[in-house]
Structure 1
Amino acid sequence: MSFNNSQLNLLNLRPWLTMLAIFWLLASLGLGWLVNSLLILFGLMLLVPVVAFFGFRWWLERNLVTDQCPVCQYEFTGLNNSQLQCPNCGEQLSVQTGHFHRFAPEGTIDITAVEVPAQQLED
């Protein structure tokens, strides 16, 4: 039983021992620069995804805007300096300086309607 178990452990180590033997052979032949460059590439393959992840999080924190639609007051999220559509009312919006603004063609005048109760008109 233990003989089979030790064989399985050696089979798991075989690829690593082969790689170590190849690196040792290359270093002994004067190709240490090749071994060093392979180790540097391996280190970069480990480091680049970590740096990219934290860089993307930093960029997302700076450019993700959560605000309310100026038409229907529905709160949602968009990217800064982009155009989008409100998922609630369908209004075209632009995101500038961390807030949502109505996207209207040039010459459009925005007005705010004020409701006047009927009782005031009769007085």
Structure 2
Amino acid sequence: MNQNGFRNLQLNWSGLRFWLTLLLIIWVLSSIGLGWLVQFSFIVLGFLLIAPIVAFAVFRWWLKRNLVVDRCPVCGYESAGINGTQLRCPSCSEPLKIENKKFHRLTPPGTVDVEAIDVTVKQLEDS
């Protein structure tokens, strides 16, 4: 037999320290009562499952109320935007402001918008 066998036998106490700490924590929690811990974990788990569903429903409701699809007053290109914001028309790059679910041109103060009307000229022949 190996006479140095007893000296080479080493115990790993670090693993035992973990299990003793875990046992102490369980003992303290069981002396207080674990019912509150179980209930709290179920409440947190339920919140984590329900919160994304509720957030998605609220986002869809908000988007339905604030998303505006209208035509550009300058070029007539149809685009979408959020009510109360500013954007540029993707077609003509005209700055637009969305108010009251309509697109309006964003013009400097004092600018007057006019519409040109095509007037055809007929010549009357002198008879």
Any unmatched runs of 5+ in structure 1? 1-24
Scaled by the length of structure 1, the TM-score of the pair is 0.72
**Which residue number in structure 1 is paired with residue 20 of structure 2?**
none
Counterpart in 1 of 2:43?
40
**Runs of at least 5 residues in structure 2 that lack an aligned partner in the other structure:** 1-25
In the alignment of these two chains, the number of paired residues is: 96
Q: RMSD over aligned Cα, in angstroms?
A: 1.7
Cα drift, residue 113 of structure 1: 1.1
**Secondary structure of the residue that 1:95 maps to in structure 2?**
strand
Which amino acid in structure 2 is aligned with residue 40 of structure 1?
I
1:97 equivalent in alignment to 2:112: no
More helix by share: 1
Alignment partner of 1:34: what SS? helix
Residues in 2 aligned to 1:44 and 1:37: alpha-carbon distance in whole angstroms: 11
- Mapped partners of 2:92, 2:71: distance in 1: 12
Cα offset, 1:106, TM superposition:
1.0
- SS of 1:50's equivalent in the other structure is helix
Aligned counterparts, 1:55-74, within 5 A: 55-74=58-77
Aligned-residue offset at 1:93: 0.4
2: CA distance, partners of 1:111 / 1:98: 22
Superposition misfits of 4+ residues, deviation over 2 angstroms: none
Please give the alpha-carbon distance, in whole angstroms, between the structure 2 residues aligned to 1:59 and 1:88. Answer: 27
Report the secondary structure of 1:41's partner residue: helix
**What is the alpha-carbon distance in structure 1 between the residues aligned to residue 98 and residue 79 of structure 2?**
12
Larger radius of gyration: 2
- State the shift of 1:89 in Å: 0.7
Structure 2 counterpart of 1:19:
none
**CA deviations over 1:74-103 (Å, ceiling 9, x no partner):** 111111000000001111000000010000
Q: Distance in 2 between matches of 1:32 and 1:109?
A: 73
Q: Which one of the candidate residues 57, 77, 82 is aligned to 1:79?
A: 82
C-alpha deviation, 1:116, in angstroms: 2.0
Distance 1:104 1:46 in 2: 48
SS of the aligned residue for 1:93 comes to strand
Q: Which residue of the partner structure matches residue 51 of structure 1?
A: 54
